[in-house]
Structure 1
Amino acid sequence: MFVSFILAKVQAYFRYRETVRELSLLSDRELTDLGIGRFQIDSVARQSAASMLLVDEPTSSTTL
């Protein structure tokens, strides 16, 4: 149980870093097309990582 929690946190962190990296590579024009400002990259990446944790949470709680 504890190991799966830590693993989920590590996976979420890697998803966060990957999202930041990919969005940072886009031009301002491409980000605008997506409806994202450059200053929003961090919050979008955090939301992406958090959504990954929320998706995994119900399956782990049903195993109790």
Structure 2
Amino acid sequence: MKVRTFTAVLHKDEDLYVAECPEVGTVSQGHTVEEAVANLKEATELYLEEFPLPENGRTLLTTFEATYAA
């Protein structure tokens, strides 16, 4: 068994929180932040059972700013 830290990006969509793991591409949801992250963890673990990540390095994650008309 391997342990690796992943990122959860969340946003609220009406009455649910939507959680996405950008490193893997999995998405899940829940009524609370904790439920959404727990569901995302389960979805990611199930995905990785079928599609393991390659051993060649870690995914880079950064942020950027964009300008748009409000």
Point out the structure with the larger strand share. Answer: 2
TM-score normalised over the length of structure 2: 0.34
TM-score normalised over the length of structure 1: 0.36
Point out the structure with the larger helix share. Answer: 1
Structure number with the bigger relative contact order (C-alpha 8 A, sep ≥ 6) is 1
